[in-house]
Amino acid sequence: MKDAATMASPAALASPDAYADAVATAVRAAAAYYADGSTPLGDDEYDALVRTIEAYEAGHPAEVLPDSPTGKVAGGAAVGDVPHSVPMLSLDNVFSAEELEAWAAGLERRLGRPVAAWCVEPKLDGLAVAARYRAGRLTTLLTRGDGLAGEDITHAADAVLGLPQRLAEPVDVELRGEVLLTQEQFEHANAVRTEHGATPFAHPRSGAAGTLRAKDRPYRVELTFFAYGAVGLPGLGHSALLARLAELGAGTAAATAAEPRRCTTLDEVRQRIDGIAALRAALPFGIDGVVVKADAVADQEEAGSGSRAPRWAVARKLKAQHKVTRLLAVEWNVGRTGIIAPRAVLEPVVVDGVTVTYATLHNPADIERRGLMLGDQVFVYRAGDVIPRVEAPLVDERTGAEQPIEFPQACPRCGDAIDTSEQRWRCVRGRGCQAVASIIYAAGRDQLDIEGLGRTRAVQLVEAGLVADLADLFTLTREQLLTLDRMGDTSADNLIAALGAARSQPLNRVFCALGIRGTGRTMSRRMAAHFGSMAAIRAADAEALAGVAGIGVEKAAVIVAELADVAGLLDRLAAQGVGTAVTAPVVAAPATAPGADTGAEADTGTEADTGAAGASAPLAGQSVVATGTMTGPLAKLSRNEVNELIERAGGKASSSVSKRTTLLVAGEKAGSKRAKAEELGVRIVSPEEFAELVAEQLV
């Protein structure tokens, strides 16, 4: 049985469309993984996918998309608003002893001498954080984010064991490490959540992600911190640094069976890797690999770092673990857009220390392709040590008592018909079948950002018959809201105000709120910049949509169908003044949309008569990178908002500097990106200069 990394090959990306789809898939997977620990791809599958993307880009350097995960911290998915004092990088990966040996040989060639010594430690499966101390007192806790800026999670710090509020000495230092849930903490957390009526965490990583970001919970969940680095303790080799961190009172892996160990030869390194891998199932916390680092300061400083990872450290990834259990049943669940997704019900089995009862089945065609039957003994693995998946049946173990899996004849949620024309089946009512999920998504921070509209309130609105879809939100009155349980005058006024603010959200956020398949935050920005208005997007055919970077022919057809499906919703949103803003498109677009009024919304004109459209947009044709701490008029903008500004001005926002970059906005502590831009001769401007350049878009 081959794993995904073995099966993948660069030949799989034989066209620009296949490459764009691969990038989009990787971006979605990384976004889910770094948001809450979930992911539609297994670790092996994601790594293999990124390697095929890298192979395609190596052969087609002029076609590299800005969203490509290659060379980016966290795959370019995670973001934050608080700048890091020093970039917080990821690690490059190797997948075999041979690749590790080749990496070590490359490092020694770069140094021009043998590495003095190595340090080998477990790669902990949690969330990377930075903890800032002033005079020994903890002041700030941040996620890694995109490596340049992270999310402030200081509110959760007092629940993290191994992360002292005060160090043993009054030093100014920033500890870096991993926050996770041990198996014991995970089980306790789920028991506490169940007592409070909350859904149990799916696995330790998602539990850690959710706990760190949660505020105002009526219960406390403890986590654990393991330090593996620091800023502000110069001159120490890695082994000595870990010892120093322990002296200061921080938790480290030294107190575990997988303790970091100093090795003088690669043979010793390989032996230690094998030793940690053998301990994996018995460890009280999850690991997904083993980290190998050059131990000496001189070796680290001379090797330096790239934009994504240090050159003196690497992660030797471990394969996902497989177990065998019995397939008891298949459940059919309906998602936010009406997609009907099968889920395997299994005899409970412990995989990598986690009891697995449910596992992913992709779609009906995948079930048939694998030849699964109820009662089968099946291989199960935790994809990327996160999401359990059913891989294959053990056909030779069949007894004759197995039964075919029955596929639903009607939507399991509403009883309406099922559209089976694609591999992923869908209720013919689409989003109408899952109004609550659609509304919660639309109200999210990266969409319409409707504060006060969470799951509980969305359920109330739908069950009361006040809201059936997104457009209904904007017809709500204060009097209607006051009929809901636990809705007082202040809460009603706040929600009405939040809905009012949502009306003026820019086009890209409104489009993203629709949840159109094949699009997301980045693609919505591109489409908004490309067409300039919702009317123009609606008028675009598949050929016109395919002209947007990252949308291939197949995806364009899906988007056209999705837009037709929500035509009535879009008409009603427009009537409420939502999504009606018009900006100058980057390229010409049709003037009217099917079913739309031929008024100001539809009249986007052509490239010749839109003033700032096309080539006259201030950033038309430019690839722009913003880095460092923004100042002046940009100081209050998040990194996502800066990227939105870039694309409103006609440019393409990117997170890494390359030969295709035409402009770098360099804030304070711009660091390595500024150095690379100077090396490549890229134009560099300050945030204040950039604000003047895009003054018309900076509203």
Domain assignment present for residue 164? The answer is: yes
Same domain for 158 and 235, yes or no, is yes
**What mean pLDDT comes out for the span 312-319?**
90
In this structure, what DSSP letter does residue 418 have?
Answer: E
Same domain for 181 and 257, yes or no, is yes
Same domain for 170 and 198, yes or no, is yes
Same domain for 210 and 88, yes or no, is yes
The DSSP element (H or E) to which 565 belongs, if any, is helix 553-565
Q: Which of 582, 616, 650 is a domain's end point?
A: 616
Q: What is the dihedral of CA 426, 430, 432, 438, to 10 degrees?
A: 100
Domain assignment present for residue 75? The answer is: no
Say how many domains are in the chain.
5
Domain assignment present for residue 144? The answer is: yes
pLDDT, tens digit (0-9, with 9 covering 90-100), for 56-109? 888 888 888 888 877 666 655 555 678 998 999 989 989 889 999 999 999 999
Domain that holds residue 23: 4-70
Same domain for 195 and 344, yes or no, is no
The larger pLDDT score, comparing residue 400 to residue 388, is at: 400
pLDDT, tens digit (0-9, with 9 covering 90-100), for 9-63? 444 677 888 888 888 888 877 776 665 444 544 455 677 788 888 888 888 888 8
Question: What is the number of other CB atoms lying within 10 angstroms of the CB of residue 671?
Answer: 16
Q: Tell me the pTM.
A: 0.48
Query: What CATH number should be reported for the domain holding residue 388?
Result: 2.40.50.140
The larger pLDDT score, comparing residue 146 to residue 121, is at: 121
Domain assignment present for residue 421? The answer is: yes
Domain assignment present for residue 465? The answer is: no
Same domain for 254 and 119, yes or no, is yes
Where are the alpha helices (H) located in 196-237, listed in sequence order? 204-213
Q: Which of 33-37, 355-359, 400-404 has the lowest mean pLDDT?
A: 33-37
Q: Which of 2, 72, 123, 555 is catalytic?
A: 123
**Listed ranges 146-150, 314-318, 423-427; the one with the highest mean pLDDT:** 314-318
Q: Which of 393, 411, 426 is a domain's end point?
A: 426
Count of helices and strands (H, E) across the chain: 24, 23
Task: Report residue 352's pLDDT band, with 50, 70 and 90 as the boundaries.
Answer: low
Query: What CATH number should be reported for the domain holding residue 283?
Result: 3.30.470.30
Domain assignment present for residue 109? The answer is: yes
Type of residue at 499? L
Same domain for 599 and 639, yes or no, is no
Query: What CATH number should be reported for the domain holding residue 658?
Result: 3.40.50.10190
- Does 419 score more than 70 pLDDT? yes
Query: What CATH number should be reported for the domain holding residue 24?
Result: 1.10.287
Domain assignment present for residue 201? The answer is: yes
Query: What CATH number should be reported for the domain holding residue 531?
Result: 1.10.150.20
Same domain for 198 and 116, yes or no, is yes
What confidence score (pLDDT) does residue 475 get?
Answer: 94
Judge residue 199's burial from the number of C-beta atoms within 10 Å of its C-beta, 0-12 exposed, 13-18 middle, 19 or more buried.
exposed
Task: Report residue 605's pLDDT band, with 50, 70 and 90 as the boundaries.
Answer: very low
Asked about 123 being catalytic, the answer comes back as yes
Same domain for 585 and 656, yes or no, is no
Same domain for 609 and 640, yes or no, is no
Same domain for 280 and 173, yes or no, is yes
